[in-house]
Amino acid sequence: MGVSRALAIVNPLSGGGRAGRTLADLRAVIERRLGPIDVAVTSRGGHAIEVAREAVESGRSLVLAVGGDGTLHEVANGVLQAGGGAAVGYVGQGTGGDFRRTLGIEHRLDAYLDAIAGGRERALDVGRARYRGLDGTPQERWFVNILSAGLGGLVDRRIADMPKALGGRAAYYLASLRSLVECERARLRCTVSLAGERGERRLDAFMIAVCNGSFFGGGMKVAPMARPDDGRFEVVAMDAPSKLAFVTFSRRIYDGSHLTAPGVQHFACDRIAIDLENDRARGVFLLDVDGEPLGGLPVEIEVVPGALKMRA
């Protein structure tokens, strides 16, 4: 296996298992466009991080994330853990496709491959987050798109707890209902910095999103103004009079009109520390990191400008 070849890291479960079922055909199409590649198939959560890190350490110059946004998240983390020496390419096979929307790539295989084959490398910002893991221990992750805390993170956690036999749609529906019952409005204390200017904010919110990209949740335009290469985050905190009112209001996120709603606050920063003032919410005000349920507050986040080289 030559290190001069690109390595494609494939999540076989992406797209409801379609990536795994069509892997031979998918590989043939990729190789017709990019030349010979090596393939590694992931077998568990976190596996792509390990494989990508080892790929960079062995001298690979291009690593492809073949899967959904979660696969891209893991591949980027592995590359960054190894020092960021390789470029990352994305071949979207999932159902969400949030970060490719920010990058302006159409959800077509030829469009993904054109972006990679073009050879243009964009230096993208990433967020580095230090937070409390689900087991209570300190953890660290990079994110390429959005880190949010609140109802979305709780839904992610409850979906992970659901029996696999339920199927994706039923699991999401039941997890959402359970999360709506359990969720709490948070009183948040935020320490915020931008270009060396530091201040504090206190916010009430059902959800707060720290955005490097514009979209999350399968096409919700939470931060239309966010750019992944401008050295800053766009932070959007969302509140409502009640849980049901928040669910109704959240439909407005799909077209970006939520930003003018009462209870929504928006500001920019390059560093932010977030913690809860009401401990009652600590067990349910959970993190969603690029769509992954990884832990809870407190969290400290900083922009790392231009840290990820991406063929896009």
pLDDT band at 160 (very low <50, low <70, confident <90, very high): confident
Amino acid 159: pLDDT = 76
Write the CB contacts of 123 (distance below 8 Å, at least 6 apart in sequence).
229, 306, 307, 308, 309
What tokens were used for 52?
């990508």
| Distances from the Cα of 25 to the Cα of 18, 131, 175, 243, angstroms | 11, 40, 35, 46
Domains of the chain, with CATH numbers?
6-120 (3.40.50.10330), 127-306 (2.60.200.40)
pLDDT, mean of residues 27-41:
97
Tell me which residue has tokens 């591949």.
75
pLDDT, mean of residues 31-38:
96
H-assigned helices in the chain: 18-21, 23-34, 47-57, 69-81, 98-103, 109-117, 151-161, 168-182, 243-249
240 conformational bin, left if phi > 0, alpha if psi -120 to 50, beta if neither: beta
AA identity, residue 35? G
Using alpha carbons, select from 108, 14, 134 the residue that is nearest to residue 65.
14
Q: Is it the case that residue 52 has pLDDT exceeding 90?
A: yes
Q: Is it the case that residue 291 has pLDDT exceeding 90?
A: no
Q: End-to-end alpha-carbon separation of the chain, Å?
A: 26
What tokens were used for 11?
């999540």
Using alpha carbons, select from 119, 126, 173 the residue that is nearest to residue 146.
126
Q: Is it the case that residue 3 has pLDDT exceeding 70?
A: no
pLDDT band at 171 (very low <50, low <70, confident <90, very high): low
pLDDT band at 166 (very low <50, low <70, confident <90, very high): low
Phi, psi of 22 (to 5 degrees): -105, 20
Amino acid 2: pLDDT = 45
Phi, psi of 159 (to 5 degrees): -60, -40
Please write the tens of the pLDDT for every residue from 227-281: 999 999 999 999 999 988 888 888 899 899 999 999 999 999 999 999 999 988 8
Write the CB contacts of 1 (distance below 8 Å, at least 6 apart in sequence).
38
Amino acid 224: pLDDT = 96
Q: Is it the case that residue 176 has pLDDT exceeding 80?
A: no
For the whole model, what pTM was predicted? 0.93
Please write the tens of the pLDDT for every residue from 83-119: 999 999 999 998 778 999 999 999 999 999 999 999 8
Amino acid 246: pLDDT = 86
Classify residue 312 by its DSSP letter: -
H-assigned helices in 121-167: 151-161
Alpha carbons 114 and 111: distance in angstroms, whole number: 5
Tell me which residue has tokens 């690979």.
60
pLDDT, mean of residues 176-184:
80
Amino acid 165: pLDDT = 61
Amino acid 248: pLDDT = 86
Number of H helices, E strands in the chain: 9, 15
Q: Could you tell me what percent of the chain has a pLDDT over 70?
A: 96
